[in-house]
Every structure is written in C-alpha cells, then in structure tokens.
Chains A and B, each alone.
Chain A
C-alpha cells in the first residue's frame, strides 16, 4: 500500500491491479452501509412495543427530540430527522476506527498504517459535514422566514389544524406580508443590532454612527456564519485526528518494544527482554484505555456536532422581533 500524492488516496493491489482508493470515501460508504443495513433490517419488523435495537434507536431519537424542543419549542420537531442523521453518521464514523482491524507496518516510515481509520480523521470529511450543517441552517432559516410571511397576519390560521396552532407558540414574531417581505426580513436580520442601537442615538451622532455600525455589523454577522463552518470542521477533525494519532503512536511503541524484547531474548539478555516485555504490556494497556476514552470522545463529538447544528438552526429559525 503506497501513499499517493493526494491526501487520503492510497494505491491498493486488488487481483494484481493497482487501484487508487480514496480511503475516507470508502470507509464513509462502509459506515453508511452499516447504518442502512441496520435500518433496513429494523424496518422489516417494527413493533408498536419496541424491543432491542429498535428501542435503542427510538431512545436516541426521543432524546434528540427532547433537546430540539427545549432549544426551539414545538417547531423543533421538524428538524430532528436532520440532526439525528448527522448525529448517527458522525457517531458511526468516529466509532468505526475503534474496531480492532488489520494494521500494516510501513518499514520506510517506521509506523503502522491501519486499514480502517475513521473517515473523520480527514479534514475533508469534517468540512463536508460542516458544509451540510451550514447549508441546512441557512436554508432552513430562509425557508422559515418565507413560511411565516405566508401566514395570515392575524389569527392562528386554522387551515393547518392543530399543528399550526401549536407551532405559533408563545413568541410569534412578525408574520404576513408575502414571500417578498419574508426574504427582505431574512436579509435584514444581518443588520441585527443596528436598528435598536440607532434608536438610542440622536442628531448628528446618528448620521455618523449608523452607517459605520451598519458596515461593521453586516461584516461581523457574515464572519460569524462563516466562522461556524471553520469551528465545526476543526473541532471534529482535531478531536478525532488527535485521538487517532495517540492510538497510532501507542501501537507503534508497543510494536517497537515487542521487537526489541524479542531481539534481546534471542541475544540472551533476559533482563532486557523482560523489561521490554513489560513496556509492551504497558503500551497495550494504555492503548486499551485510549480506546475506551475514544468511545466516549467519539460519542461526545457526535453529540456536540448534532447539538451545535441544532442550536444554529434554532438561532436561524427563531422569530426576531
């Protein structure tokens, strides 16, 4: 297995032919297939009274739904499927690297190369996930603004039945005006704190400061949205990449100590062999500890990714006054 020029692409010999394989993509595909198989198997025999795996998945969904409702009220229910799929995908991506698998010793680089590394150790994958999150909270915020503009300005509109009544909640923002007004409202929320700041100023001060503040806050609001992509990308990538590197280092050390122990034993140096053997065992023990930690960290990172996506959506769809 040679490392190609492009990051993540490796050449693998399959039946005598060298094939370029984009490892993160392949492992992502494996991850998604596992999820699809689980769901497909479960769909065949769903029960009203859930048992086993179905019960587990329903618990996960109910838990995320509870979070969504606590973040954005009853309207949060519609965004749960998106956040839950992001959560499950990231979770399985993080966890698939924890499965003990085949490691290959690369003599030139003096290190181990795992065959199965989590796709999230590639910044490309986490950037893609962050872009999905970004597109969804921008798109859903815009769609929500258009939707509220289509609702009648007065009354709760019984056309939608109970659901619409429920979704209005306690803090109904500005409604009505048609889609055009809705789009304008969406654009106007990029100048957000300026109107209220402008009200507190008087005279010449207002004419000088308001344009300056306008430029500043439009810039800040746009940077804020873009910084979200960056922070989502690097949080997931850094955590999983760091943990993966620790794992690889421990494994490499364990391998090196084991080899040294064997060579010492063959040379007849019993003390050295025992010492290196003990070091090997310590390294394997640390590896076990790191794997346990990795299970927890993988879960927490997936949760944080989904929760942040949810809270960005909540911020985007919230009714501003």
Chain B
C-alpha cells in the first residue's frame, strides 16, 4: 500500500493533537498565572486544580500519541 500516506498519518495525528493541546494548556496556564498574580495567597489551590486540569487536557494528546504509535507499528517495513 501507500507507505508515504501512513507516515503522514502518523505525523499528522500527533501533530494536530499537539497543536490543540498546546493552545489549550497555554490558555489554562495563562489564566492560572493571572489568578495567582491577582491573589498570591491562592497559589496552592490554583496550582493543584491547574495540574488536574492540565492532566485532563493532556490526556487528549496522549490518546493521539497512542494512535500514532499504533499506526507507526503497522507501517510495513
């Protein structure tokens, strides 16, 4: 079959996911920084909630990573 297209699929699946996840995590971190700047005492609370949120956002990218690993394993040598 067309090996080139499979390579493209591997790269695109993780690339597009990383794009979206990057934008999402950037937004989340920016807002959290703003919140800490406004109210430094809330740092601990903001931090743990932020990490929890980032974990959820990041899992989307991880799904794409798993897909791209599965795809790259299927490329015939």
Are A300's CB and B51's CB within 8 A? yes
A235 & B51 in contact (Cβ 8 Å cutoff): no
Q: Is B52 an interface residue (CB 8 A)?
A: yes
B66, A311: Cβ atoms closer than 8 Å: no
Tell me whether A235 and B59 are in contact in the complex, defined as CB-CB below 8 angstroms, given that A70-B45, A241-B69, A242-B65 are known contacts. Answer: yes
User: Is there a chain B Cβ closer than 8 Å to A146's Cβ?
Assistant: no
| CB atoms of B55 and A308 under 8 A apart | yes
Cross-chain contact A234 with B62 (CB below 8 angstroms): yes
Give B31 Cβ to nearest chain A Cβ, in Å: 19
A218 close to chain B: CB less than 8 A: no
CA distance A3 to B45 in the complex (A): 47
User: Contacts A70-B45, A234-B59: A307 and B51 contacting too (C-beta < 8 A)?
Assistant: yes
- Tell me, rounded to whole Å, the shortest Cβ–Cβ distance linking A3 to chain B: 14
Interface residues on A, range: 10 to 19
Q: Closest CB of chain A to B34's CB: distance in Å?
A: 21
**A235 x B52 contact (CB < 8 A):** no
Asked whether any CB of chain A lies closer than 8 Å to the CB of B48, the reply is yes
Interface centre among A238, A242, A303, A308 (most CB of B within 10 A): A238
CB distance from A303 to the nearest CB of B (A): 7
Is the CB of B63 closer than 8 A to any CB of chain A? yes
A234 touching B66 by the CB < 8 A rule?
Answer: yes
How many Å lie between the Cα of A237 and that of B56 in the bound state?
14
Chain A nearest CB from B67 CB (Å) reads 10
Given A238-B65, A241-B69: A231 touches B51 (CB 8 Å cut-off): no
Instruction: Give CA–CA (A32, B27) in the complex, Å.
Output: 39
In A267-312, the 8 Å CB interface with B consists of: 300, 303-304, 307-308, 311
The answer to whether the Cβ of A239 comes within 8 Å of any Cβ in the partner chain is yes
Nearest chain B CB to A298's CB is how many angstroms away?
Answer: 14
Give the nearest-CB partner of B56 in chain A.
A231
A72 an interface residue at 8 Å Cβ cutoff?
A: no
Q: A116 contacts the other chain (Cβ, under 8 Å)?
A: no
For A308, what are the chain B residues with a Cβ–Cβ distance below 8 Å? 52, 55
Q: Smallest CB–CB gap between A60 and chain B, Å? A: 15
Shortest CB distance A252–B (Å): 15
User: Which B residues form the contact surface with A (CB < 8 A)?
Assistant: 44-45, 48, 51-52, 55-56, 58-59, 62-63, 65-66, 69
The 9 closest A-B pairs by CB, nearest first: A238-B62, A304-B55, A235-B59, A238-B65, A231-B59, A238-B66, A242-B65, A235-B62, A234-B62
